Structures are given as C-alpha cells and as structure tokens.
Amino acid sequence: MLTLYDTTLRDGMQAEGFALSVADKLRVARRLDQLGIRFIEGGWPGANPKDEEFFRQMPGMTLNQAEIVAFCATRRAGRTAAQDPMLAPVVAAGTRWVTVFGKSWDLQVTEGLRTTAAENLAMIADTIAHFRQQGKRVLYDAEHWFDGFRSDRAFALATLQAAQAAGAEWLVLCDTNGGTLPHEVSEMVAAVQEAFPTAALGIHTHNDSGLAVANAMAAVEQGASMVQGTVNGYGERCGNANLCTLIPNLQLKLGYACLPESGMRSLTTTARQISELVNLAPDDHAPYVGLSAFAHKGGIHVSAVQRNPRTYEHVAPELVGNDRRIVISEQSGLSNVLSKAASFGIQLTKDDPACREILQQLKTLEQDGYQFEAAEASFELLMRHGVGDRPTWFTVQDFQVHCHQGAGYEITRATVKVAVKDSEHLTTAEGNGPVAALDAALRKALIAFYPAIASVHLTDYKVRILNSDAGTAAKTRVLIAFSDHQQRWTTVGVAENIITASLRALLDGLEFGIRRTVLG
C-alpha cells in the first residue's frame, strides 16, 4: 500500500487565484478523508490567522481515517528549538504528526538562510528532536533535495542523516523547483535507497517541467512509498503533482494499491467538488477526471467505442467515477438522468417521455451556463418538475432591491411580493447586501406558513462570471449553499444580472428547504 499525502490545503493554497475560507478548508479535508487520503497537510499553524483558525476548529471534525498534519520550517539559526517562537504554535496545534521542512541545498543555506552547513544540520536535528520530545511523530520534507544532491551530494545526504537520527519517520525528497527529469529522479532516489536502506521515503514534486506526475512515478518505481501532491495539481507556478492523475496511474497502470476501490470511483466527483470549493473552473481536459477525458465525438470513433470502448479509451471511465460521453448521441445522457433520478428516489424509466424532456431541459440550461455538478438541489427540483412532483409552495411576483450609500452609511433594502396559498404578501427587510436583504424579506413572508424555514440558513455564496470576454454583458453563475443543521444543499442560478441570478439560486434553496421539512 502506498501512502498518500495531500498538500492541497498548504502547497495548493500558493496557487494563483486560489482562496479558501476556513469552513471550506475543513470541507476539503473531509472530502479528502472520504476519498481515502492518509495524510492531509492542513497548513502552517501560526503563519496566518486562517491556518491558526483551521487548527483551532479541526479537532471538532471527525475523520474516518485521515490524519491532519501541521507543517513548519526548522528552527531559525542561532537559537534553540524551545526558544523559537515559530515552533510553539505548531506544538499547540495538537496534531499527532508534524512535517518539518529543511534545507538540502548548500546554495539555499548560504544564500537563503545566510548560515553555515553545520548550523543547518543542527537546525534540522534540533527541530525534529524538539517535536519528538513533545510526543509528536515527524515527517521530514527535504526542500530542494534534488538540486542539493546535484550540487553537493555528501551534504544533501547528511541532511537526511540528521533528520533520520533525530527521529523523523519519513524522509520526503522534494523537487521544489520542478526542474528535475524522471531519469535523474530514478538515479538519485536509488542513491538514497542505497545510503538509507531502511528509511521510509516520500516524493514531493512540482510541475515546472510538466513532469511532476512522471517524476513521482519514477520515485515510486525506485522504492519511495509515499507520494505527495494536490487535488487537480493546484500549487504555485505550474502546480504540484496532480493526485487525480498520479493515483490512477499508480494503481490502475502499475498495480500499486493507493485507494480502496470505492475511493477510486469517487475520484472524479472529488476533483469537481474541490474545484467548486476553491472556485476555480475545472479543467475539462484533465486526464481521468476531466469532463472530456472520455468524450467521443466524430462518427468513426463513436461507432468503434460503442462496439468496444477499448478502441479509444485507455481505461474504463467508471474505474475513476467518470462517464463516457458520446457527444452526438443522447444515450449516455439518458443513463445519467436515470442514475441521478434513482439517487434522488425518483421513479423514472428510459421509455418515460419525461426522461427525454428532462434531458432536453438540462441541455438548454447547460447551454445557458447552468452547471449542476455542484448544485444537486437545483437538479433534483428540475427532475421533480419533469415528473410532475413539484408543488408550488410560493411564487415571487415582484421584487425590488435598493442600495443607498452615503458618507458613513450603507443600507440595502429589499421588497418582495410573494403569493403563498392564495394570499399575497408584501414584505420589506434590510440586509448587509442584496442577497441577505432578499433572503430576509422572503423569510418574513414565508415563515408564517412554513415555520421550519427558520432553521434554514445560507452557509456560502459563490459567484463566477461566464464568457467574461463579453464584458458587462457576461453571464453570472451564482452558487448558494444552505444548511438546516442536518443536511447541506447547494443551488444554482444564472442570469446576466447578478441579483436575478442570486434570486434564482435563493428561491431554489428555500423551496428545497421547505420541501424537505414539509414532505420529510
């Protein structure tokens, strides 16, 4: 069994355009745990308030099997580990495991740290020994290890020796600049194997040469038993090793056990959910998990694939939870609709005319910019509508939003006219923004009829601008997450006007909440 180590929440956060709230970091961690990742690097306790908060909230989260790891640098030069204020928050974070990273490259020691080789070795050893004394288990990340080995072999090996002797249980070789080639990785990992025959080795690669996955595989072939990477390859510059490519390569191609089969089958969903959480458009052409990874277009391919999928597919899409998409036929779409319906408990068969209608509507909406991947509640409502199981709980007949802003004040007020059970209600409410004001005004009208709506609240709000080359005529896609303490659901709305898009998502969310509480 290979050990998987995810650093999406630490190295991945370095990616341009990547932002995660603390709540979303916790959600990502939960997804990774469900996937079957063994180690999840949560961040650097004390480095910024967000990481601090993550580690504060983390103990409240129950995980199936994963271990959250705190990350930090070695102590600073010229002081003891116990005196270094940077290390105290790492101990306080309360994780069982700590990853310490240290310098392996003489250039980094003299130019970066401006200290001596001997002091660098002491920094590695002292820091690890300090954490060991606090009862922690330690992974050692050897930063720039491959560049270090090229520059001064003996010194690079000495850093690993210092880490191992001080009690590090894993020695992780990092290609921090991402410039190493697979055959060099093979040679250098083999040299480490020879020098440390009993050590557990890990590999951490970056994609600056487009080789992060290939380099990690080369290291595994030489005996490394831990791979580090990020979901969708997020990371600074060109990214880290993409676990969504690396894991299937190792398990399906080379026979290294990485994930249980159920985890492997949830890989595609995980990749897409995490891209939604981090609010970065998913790469449709990503290997294994991309929307187009198993899409077939053009007559000859399609007929060959229909006869035998192996003609144009290197693996079966279902192994990684992806779908074969025949672009010119509706057949695959139909089966998607059917399997989704089953998962919502909706009775639907292939010959049911409602099935084709739902599919048609789905296509039109997707053309308009809707995406239901991360908005299952909206999709469920759409399907229920198709099969005639969508009662009208309320109708918004009119709405207005006013924003008043002046020196030192800002007020947003929404007015809605809602029809509920044969009566009309005009309500007004204020909020700290247009969505909050609309939400409050709607609730005022609905709560007398559906009191349980009081427990439904908005937990997240995300906006993405589609076809942004169209400037202000661009469409806006809004995703809103709701929770009623028992269940969480997400809805989507699309419109050119951001308020209209938000209202659509909001209405779906409230309808879903009412439906849940009234119908159970």
Residue 409 C-beta: closest distance to Zn ion, Å: 46
Dihedral sign (CA 276, 175, 104, 38):
positive
How far lies 197's CA from each of 138, 160, 190, 226, in Å?
19, 12, 10, 15
Measured from the CB atom, the residue of 10 and 443 that comes closer to Zn ion is 10
Smaller CB separation from Zn ion, 15 or 499: 15
Minimum separation from the CB atom of position 224 to Zn ion (A) = 15
Q: How far is the CB of 282 from Zn ion (least distance, A)?
A: 22
Comparison of 6 and 11: residue with beta carbon closer to Zn ion: 11
Cβ distance to Zn ion smaller for residue 11 or 508: 11
Residues 8-37 that bind Zn ion (CB under 5 A): 11
**Buried-state track 350-385, b at ≥16 Cβ within 10 A, e below 16:** eebebbbebbeebeebeeebbbbbbbbbbbbbbbbe
| Angstrom distance (rounded) from CA 265 to CA 319 | 5
CA dihedral 255, 257, 259, 261 (to 10 degrees): 60
Judged by CB under 5 A, the stretch of 5-13, 254-262, 463-471, 500-508 that binds Zn ion is: 5-13
* CA 128/CA 51 separation, integer angstroms: 21
If the CB atoms of residues 178 and 182 are measured against Zn ion, the closer one turns out to be 178
Kindly state the smallest distance separating residue 176's Cβ from Zn ion, in Å: 6
Interface stretch with Zn ion, choices 6-14, 354-362, 399-407, 476-484 (CB under 5 A): 6-14
Q: Give the total of residues touching Zn ion (CB under 5 A).
A: 1
Positions 83 through 122 that interact with Zn ion (CB under 5 A): none
How far apart, in whole angstroms, are the C-alpha atoms of residue 64 and residue 45? 23
Please, are residues 248 and 319 in contact by the beta-carbon 8 Å criterion?
yes
Residue nearest to Zn ion (CB): 11
Q: At residue 98, what are phi and psi to the nearest 5 degrees?
A: -130, 135
Q: What is the DSSP letter of 200?
A: E
Cα dihedral: 419, 423, 426, 432 (round 10) = -50
CB of 417 to Zn ion, least distance (A): 55
Amino acid in the structure at residue 419: A
Stretch touching Zn ion by CB under 5 A, among 7-15, 102-110, 282-290, 443-451: 7-15
Q: Per-residue contact track with Zn ion, 168 to 197, x per CB under 5 A?
A: ------------------------------
Q: Which is nearer to Zn ion, 212 or 495 (CB)?
A: 212
Residue closer to Zn ion by CB (options 159, 412) is 159
d(CA 5, CA 139): 11
Would you say 188 and 217 are in contact if contact means Cβ atoms under 8 Å apart? no
Q: Which is nearer to Zn ion, 47 or 305 (CB)?
A: 47
- 143 lines the binding site for Zn ion (CB under 5 A): no
Q: How far is the CB of 298 from Zn ion (least distance, A)?
A: 40
Q: Taking the complex as a whole, how short is the minimal distance between the CB of residue 101 and Zn ion, in angstroms?
A: 9
Q: Give the footprint of Zn ion on residues 386-445 (CB under 5 A).
A: none
Binding site for Zn ion (CB under 5 A): 11
